[in-house]
């Protein structure tokens, strides 16, 4: 079972990227979490350039999503919504519609912010946007509020409750991916 993890943050010391690294370390046996690191290389979506062959970074994103059994996305919240570069990635991945790499792909959402809400608005907006693309967002959101208190100085997730929720998130996502594979086989 391969889960592609996308962080909505470009920041080098991003808490959302740290959360996805923790997911990789905590993944139950049989689940591999691969961190996608090409978000910054995606050009702004432009329908004039949405032709075959697609730009190399776009082709890579689409192929990696298509090859994954499921996606785990962790996003910060910028001005109460989805960061622009993450929305841009979803826009590229959603083409061509309806036969795109996100179609029927199980996706789980998380968000890590220093605020008291854990990026709930961004996760809600992302759930809506992904649903329109044809992705299947599964389970509840995983808000990680006041994230600066959840990691140690070395960037390790130390909060036992968040660790447990992250493992549950991965298990649910894997179960949904297996169900999807069985239905489409």
The residue ranges of the chain whose pLDDT is under 70 are 185
* Per-residue pLDDT reduced to its tens digit, 59-77: 999 999 999 999 999 999 9
Which CATH number belongs to the domain containing residue 47 in this structure? 3.40.50.360
Number of domains in the chain: 1
Domain span holding position 138: 2-184
Q: Note if the bond before 98 is cis, omega within 30 degrees.
A: yes
* Per-residue pLDDT reduced to its tens digit, 83-111: 999 999 999 999 988 889 999 999 999 99
DSSP string spanning 110-169? Answer: EEE-SSSSTTHHHHHHHHHHHHHHT-EE-S--EEETTGGGTB-TTS-B--HHHHHHHHHH
Indicate whether this model's pTM tops 0.85.
yes
């Amino acid at each position: 079972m391969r889960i592609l993890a996308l962080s909505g943050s470009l920041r080098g010391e991003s808490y959302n990227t740290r959360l996805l690294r923790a997911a990789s370390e905590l993944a139950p046996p049989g689940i591999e979490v691969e961190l996608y690191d090409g978000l910054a290389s995606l050009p702004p979506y432009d329908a004039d350039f949405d032709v075959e062959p697609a730009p190399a970074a776009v082709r890579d994103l689409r192929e990696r999503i298509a090859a994954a059994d499921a996606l785990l996305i962790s996003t910060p919240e910028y001005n109460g919504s989805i960061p622009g570069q993450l929305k841009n990635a979803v826009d590229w991945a959603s083409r061509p519609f309806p036969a795109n790499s996100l179609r029927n792909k199980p996706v789980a959402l998380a968000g890590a912010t220093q605020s008291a809400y854990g990026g709930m608005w961004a996760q809600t907006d992302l759930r809506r946007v992904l649903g329109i693309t044809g992705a299947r967002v599964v389970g509840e959101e995983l808000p990680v509020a006041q994230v600066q208190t959840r990691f140690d100085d070395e960037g390790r997730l130390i909060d036992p409750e968040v660790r447990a929720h992250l493992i549950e998130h991965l298990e649910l996502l894997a179960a949904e991916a297996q169900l999807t594979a069985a239905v489409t086989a």
